[in-house]
């Protein structure tokens, strides 16, 4: 589990195919302190732009993960190249502060940035999502975009809008994201379970 509070920015430094399949091994450079406090363990879960992946190898300032063909097909990880920037968050530990909202790291869909517009000191971002996912998104509800916990401010038929403050822009990939870019979307798990309960009631 994660909180949607990004604690480091990483950079993809290598993408290597895994023998006998379409899976890929990704090597991601990261600030050393991200892996040190406490030391990351082999097999630890790390959210990479919202996608929960398992650390299978690491050094002083990098770690490697394997991404299956399924993950590459249903997240934006399949579009990554060397130099792609990645939002990073280590998994939640018992007793940690829950600063965002509960995030599973299971991406529900890939969305698209529609627009970004200055609004006072922040920016209003609008994203488009598949229509079958839009029904789970509500004004004042939580959503994770590329692993960042955000509050929904507006909802359309297949779009939603959020406000992103300068601090978030500075410490996440939103500093380089632009209209037309793809983003990983994870809806609030509470919305998913409520919808399921209504279907079976």
Residue 2 placed within a domain: no
Are 67 and 125 found together in one domain? no
User: pLDDT of 91-131, one tens digit each?
Assistant: 987 667 777 788 999 999 999 999 999 999 999 999 999 99
Residue pair 80/26 in contact (Cβ under 8 Å)? The answer is yes
Give the CATH number, domain containing residue 196. Answer: 2.40.30.20
Please indicate, yes or no, whether residues 77 and 140 belong to a single structural domain of this protein.
Answer: no
In a shared domain, residues 116 and 194: yes
**Residue 153 is assigned to a structural domain of this protein:** yes
Regarding whether 114 and 73 lie in a shared domain, the answer is no
Token pair for 187: 């809806």
Whether residue 126 sits in one domain with residue 71: no
Task: Please give the Cα distance from 131 to 112 (Å, whole number).
Answer: 13
User: What contacts 168, CB < 8 A, 6 or more positions away?
Assistant: 148, 174
What pLDDT, in 10s, does the model give residues 11-31? 999 999 886 678 999 999 999
Give CA–CA dist 97/112, Å, rounded: 30
pLDDT in tens, 50-81: 999 999 999 999 999 999 999 999 999 999 99
Count structural domains, the chain: 2
**CB burial string 66-82: b at 16+ within 10 A, e below:** bbeeebbebbbbeebee
**Domain end: 55, 90, 125, which one?**
90
Q: Tens of pLDDT along 162-196?
A: 999 999 999 999 999 999 999 999 998 877 777 66
Residue 196 lies in a domain: yes
Domain with 60, as residue range(s), is: 8-90
Distance, in Å, from the CA atom of 46 to the CA atom of 40, rounded to the nearest integer, reads 10
Output the CA torsion sign for 130, 134, 135, 141. Answer: positive
């Amino acid at each position: 589990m994660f909180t949607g509070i990004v604690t480091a920015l990483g950079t993809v430094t290598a993408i290597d195919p895994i023998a006998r399949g379409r899976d890929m091994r990704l090597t991601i450079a990261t600030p050393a302190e991200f892996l040190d406090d406490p030391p990351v363990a082999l097999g630890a879960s790390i959210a990479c732009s919202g996608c929960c992946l398992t650390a299978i190898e690491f050094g002083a300032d990098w770690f490697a993960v394997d991404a299956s063909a399924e993950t590459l097909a249903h997240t934006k990880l399949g579009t990554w190249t060397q130099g792609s920037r990645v939002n990073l968050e280590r998994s939640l530990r018992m007793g940690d502060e829950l600063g965002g909202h509960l995030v599973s790291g299971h991406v529900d869909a890939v969305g698209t940035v529609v627009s970004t517009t200055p609004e006072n000191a922040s920016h209003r971002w609008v994203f488009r999502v598949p229509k079958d996912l839009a029904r789970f998104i509500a004004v004042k509800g939580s959503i994770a975009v590329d692993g960042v916990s955000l509050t929904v401010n507006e909802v359309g038929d297949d779009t939603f809008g959020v406000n992103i403050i300068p601090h978030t822009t500075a410490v996440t990939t939103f500093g380089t994201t632009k209209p037309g870019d793809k983003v990983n979307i994870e809806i609030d798990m509470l919305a998913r379970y409520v919808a399921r309960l209504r279907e079976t009631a």
